[in-house]
Amino acid sequence: MLKEKTYQKCRYLLSPVSLFTLCFTLIAIFLYSMESQAMFGFFKKTEVQLSPPVKGRITDNGQPLSGVEVVRELFYSGYDKKNAIIDYALTNTQGEFSFDEIVVKSRSPSDIFGQNLPVSQEIYIKKETNEHEDDMFLLWGASKHWRSSPPLNNLMLQLNADLQNKEVDQMVDTTGYNTRNEQLVSTICHWENDKVTTYYNNEVIRSYEEIN
């Protein structure tokens, strides 16, 4: 009698109606899950500013340098996991250069595993030396939050540097912009700005004259 009841129960579980009901339920759950993810932005692409507009001026002992190649190198694994975006600019007769803004779209900011991926930014001039071919004059070096930050964007319009300047670390106050509260920037640009604290050899300096 027990075997017969078990057999009948199995027949009921494997009946076409039951299989159809099970399949329909699974499909409904899957579609609901997809709709929920779309509603909460899991598949939405977000604009990520890899670089704002950039402007600067290059001098050497106060004299403008013309025809100098400036390199901008940007990397964000939420857009391309392997390759950086690299472009170039030449200084004019006044030593001035500029780069356009670069914005991409990515799903990573909406992904729980990718929402904190940083944007790496480097703007530099290669040193013409045979001894240290990889050496550079670093105008801007930062690994920042993917969200745009007005204080940083403002500084990237002021990449004015003399090649005799010593490289320093600038700690920029970025409080209140849904990013980090502070952002470290390595540079030979010597800014005078209330939002910037300058470090040289890990020590705070109050004036650039201290290191010249």
What is the block-wise mean pLDDT of the chain (212 residues), using blocks of 10 residues? 47 55 59 47 79 97 97 92 93 98 90 84 87 78 93 97 96 88 96 94 93 84
pTM: 0.77
The two three-digit tokens of residue 199, written as one number: 């470090």
Q: Supply the pLDDT for residue 36.
A: 47
Tokens of 107: 């799903």
Question: Which parts of 24-164 are beta strand (E)?
Answer: 46-51, 54-60, 63-64, 69-75, 85-90, 96-99, 102-106, 119-126, 136-144, 159-162
What does the pLDDT read at residue 114?
A: 75
Collapsing DSSP to helix, strand or coil, 69 comes out as strand
Give the number of other Cβ atoms within 10 Å of residue 72's Cβ.
23
Q: Which of 109, 46, 50 is nearest to 75 (CA)?
A: 50
Closest CA to 181 of 172, 190, 170: 172
The residue with tokens 């007769």 is 93
Residue 62, CB-side half-sphere exposure with 13 Å CA sphere: 0
Burial 92-102 (b: 16+ CB within 10 A, else e): eeebbbebeeb
Please state the domain extents for the chain: 2-39, 46-210
Residues 6+ apart with CB under 8 A from 152: 52, 142, 144, 172, 174, 183, 185
| 74 strand-pairing partners | 85, 121
Q: What does the pLDDT read at residue 9?
A: 45
Q: What is the pLDDT of residue 110?
A: 80
The helix or strand, by DSSP H or E, that contains position 16, with its residue range, turns out to be helix 16-39
Q: Could you tell me the two tokens for 133?
A: 């071919």
The pLDDT value given to residue 24: 64
